[in-house]
Amino acid sequence: MLLPAKDEVARQLRRYRARERSMLASPADLAARTVFEDSGYTLCVLMGKRCAREAADAAERYLRAGLVTHVQERDDRPLVAGLNPSAVERLTPAGSAVPSGAV
């Protein structure tokens, strides 16, 4: 399956969110609602979804996945500076370091 260009997805998602804010700011404005619905339709077509909310969620996931992949491909250094990959400790929600075999 062909995937849309990330730049275009980001641009359309920004447009959709801006139109959504303007429509929510003045819900009685039919022109604002029409422009919002048009931007939602465009996002639906771009992301291959039937609902604008699903398309916006899919666009956010698509863009987020690209960021994770970009960071992973950028270099092979461990995420924690100064530790080799076999000694990297994971962090607990409280932020204290726990050796990976201790849990």
CB atoms within 10 A of CB 86: 7
Query: Is pLDDT of 6 > 60?
Result: yes
Tell me which residue of 48, 46, 37 sits closest to 4, measured CA to CA. Answer: 46
Q: What is the pLDDT of residue 2?
A: 81
List strand residue ranges (DSSP E) for 10-99, in order: 90-91, 97-98
Instruction: Kindly report the average pLDDT of the chain as a whole number.
Output: 78
**What does the alpha-carbon distance between residue 26 and residue 66 come to, in Å, rounded to a whole number?**
34
